[in-house]
Chains A and B, each alone.
Chain A
Amino acid sequence: MECVTTSITESPTWFGLPDHPLFGLLTTPTTGERRGAVVIAPPVGYEARNAKAALRQLALQLGRAGITSLRFDYRGTGDSSGAFGSSLPTPDWVDDIGVSVDYLKSAGFEQVSIVGMRLGATMATLSAWRSNVGVHAVVLWDPCESGRSYLREVGALSALRREVSNNGKDGSVETTEYLFDADMVASLEQLNLKLNGDFEPNCRYLLITRRSRPLSTAVLSTFESLHADFRLTDEQEACLQVLPFYAQLPNATIIQITQWLSDQSPSQTLTPHLTTDSRAVLNVGSDGQVKERADCLGPHRNFVMITEPVSGFIGPLLVMLQNVHEDHNGPSRMWVELSRQCALAGARSARIDVSGLGDSPRNEGMSPAQYLDAEWVREVVDVCVSLEPSDPSNVVFLGLCSGATLAIEAAWRLRARGLCIINPPLGINVLHHVTQWQDSRTVTGRRWGRRLRRWYLAHPWIVVTLWELFRTLRPSRWRADVIARLRSRGTDVLVLASLDQFSGFPRVPFVRKLDGRHPDVERDYPFELVPDLDHGLTVAAGRDRVAERFKRHLCSTFFMDATNNELGSHR
């Protein structure tokens, strides 16, 4: 399968060693001259989510300049094989960059360069320094000086969002996205741009830094001695330091990188022959094997990753939906691991990117994606019809937050067999709309957004009154009622929630008894509070509990008749 945009083709492919295949996206110019290839080494963790759209835009821009690019996931991350923690940043992730370079060289590209962002830049440089393959140029886009500095930054981000230390006594570090165990921490601490190594003598370097993350003079001196080109960017904060849905494309930096690489890359004399394979058989720990294939489905050509047993599947299709700040892999890759575990028990699942998010582009002519975009429901329904043409209702939807809303709406449309959701928004999110205004591109919008936020915090009773009025006047839009009505129509429902779901109006006493979200209110559907769970599933303990609960529920409700197998451990 391929998705073609004007003169550029995007193709998903598995590549690398059979024991641990890597998943990647090739962006290839279909017309004009060819000017070499680039491996794009992504950041790790939440920075990878934020940077996804930027790296895709870079790939498209490179494609227009005649440069083929390969974006990929390190093993144990994204869609690549393995569980997070089963591989180490060094040597494994550094080696994965080398494998990516090898893949492009074996296709006939004479010159292969690497663009790395953040920790990806650090590892890309070390890969170039250590490899015998020969890298033509390296772009270090806002690099982390070392693995230690990276851990410190992401660990601090997690700690400063909470009141508890995130460093375990066992040497582990919990971040917003992943729990880095002691072995991974030790491995990350080996990554260091200050290390003197065998520098690639014929390699060119472009070093792009930002003021709020300055590099030490020792590292800058290293790159001065390598005759690197230096640039400064002020676009990284708007790209990486906001919620992913609001991340802005660093267009000026993308153009700079493209121009610099074009200047380094003369036309190829030979025509490369790329072999792509959108299917793979993956080992799931020591528990068995599953099949995965990437596809573009439905009229909007939504990116879908389908996971299924090696031989035949049973039960309904499990459809895992992202929230607006995630891609199809889910919070901290939860959907990836859950879908693979479910496939071992015989289930087929689909992880979908709706248009404008993840690996699904927003098609030309469509308006920019909106939070709770109505188009997304249609897209999800269309994908389900593609995968289950004889009975589109034979699906179970899973989702978190806005993904849960999408799941509710799609389940309603299709009369789905099941609904497993976490922290669904149960009414209008007033604070969200205020936040949207705060992030407005216009000065007036931002000014009114700040005023409204201060007004809301100062007078929450007015907001609550408006909210209750809305609930009374528009009951059909009140999701708690929709969930109950789904159940009455025969959809199996399980709702998991965190205690902070009941903090919509923490300053307003007595409201929690009115708004129906109080934990003690009787509900017409199974509703469970999960200990240690936060709204975005950033805390590993709560996230693991959700995964286990979903597995038990899915197995006992939809798959127990066909198999007595347990779904296995989460990691």
Chain B
Amino acid sequence: MDSSVSAIRAILAAYGQLMVDIKSLDDHDDLYESGMSSHASVNVMLALEAEFDIEFSDAVLRRSTFRSVDSIHRALLSLGVDGPT
């Protein structure tokens, strides 16, 4: 698994407050419907920024960006992330 995706999943497990185990979700499953609240998504955002040493720009700071592991990964790629720092 891509190291970025692994890091994303680890952060979701720690901060996403999901109702289910992250291992049971595939990369396209809806994280909000799996229990992630908007508050938890902020925690995830902050943890991702610390992990990858980035800052989410206004352009990608949308609800849809954090909808799935895949959408988060694509947002990180658009911000030039290769892998965790």
Interface residues of A (CB under 8 A from B): 153, 156-157, 159-165, 167, 212-214, 237, 240-242, 450, 457
In the complex, B33 has a CB within 8 A of chain A:
yes
A167 CB contacts on chain B under 8 angstroms = 58
Residue of B nearest to A216 (CB): B50
Whether the Cβ atoms of B58 and A160 lie closer than 8 Å is no
A-B CB proximity, top 10 nearest: A241-B39, A165-B58, A212-B43, A159-B61, A161-B38, A160-B41, A156-B42, A157-B42, A160-B38, A160-B63
A480 to B40, CA, bound (A): 36
A213 to B82, CA, bound (A): 25
Contact count A vs B, C-beta below 8 Å: 52
Interface residues of B (CB under 8 A from A): 15, 17, 19, 33, 35, 37-43, 45-47, 50, 56, 58-59, 61-64, 66
- New A-B pairs, 4, CB < 8 Å, besides A160-B66, A164-B62, A237-B17: A153-B46, A156-B42, A156-B56, A160-B63
A525 to B40, CA, bound (A): 41
A237 CB contacts on chain B under 8 angstroms = 17, 39
A160 CB contacts on chain B under 8 angstroms = 38, 41-42, 45, 61-63, 66
B43 CB contacts on chain A under 8 angstroms = 212-213, 241
Whether the Cβ atoms of A156 and B19 lie closer than 8 Å is no
Q: List 24 A-B contacts (CB under 8 A).
A: A153-B42, A153-B46, A156-B42, A156-B56, A156-B61, A157-B38, A159-B63, A160-B38, A160-B66, A161-B63, A162-B63, A163-B62, A163-B63, A163-B64, A165-B61, A212-B15, A212-B43, A212-B46, A213-B43, A213-B46, A241-B39, A241-B40, A241-B43, A450-B19
Most chain B beta-carbon contacts within 10 A, residue among A157, A159, A457: A159
Give the Cβ gap from B56 to chain A, nearest Cβ, in Å: 8
A213 CB contacts on chain B under 8 angstroms = 43, 46
A424 to B33, CA, bound (A): 26
A156 to B63, CA, bound (A): 10
Whether the Cβ atoms of B62 and A457 lie closer than 8 Å is no
Whether the Cβ atoms of A159 and B46 lie closer than 8 Å is no
A161 CB contacts on chain B under 8 angstroms = 38, 63
B61 CB contacts on chain A under 8 angstroms = 156, 159-160, 165
A272 to B50, CA, bound (A): 48
Give the Cβ gap from B51 to chain A, nearest Cβ, in Å: 12
Residue of B nearest to A159 (CB): B61
A157 CB contacts on chain B under 8 angstroms = 38-39, 42
Most chain B beta-carbon contacts within 10 A, residue among A161, A212, A214: A212
A164 to B35, CA, bound (A): 22
Most chain A beta-carbon contacts within 10 A, residue among B43, B47, B59: B43
A76 to B46, CA, bound (A): 29
B35 CB contacts on chain A under 8 angstroms = 450
B39 CB contacts on chain A under 8 angstroms = 157, 237, 240-242
Whether the Cβ atoms of A159 and B62 lie closer than 8 Å is yes
Residue of A nearest to B32 (CB): A160
A162 CB contacts on chain B under 8 angstroms = 63
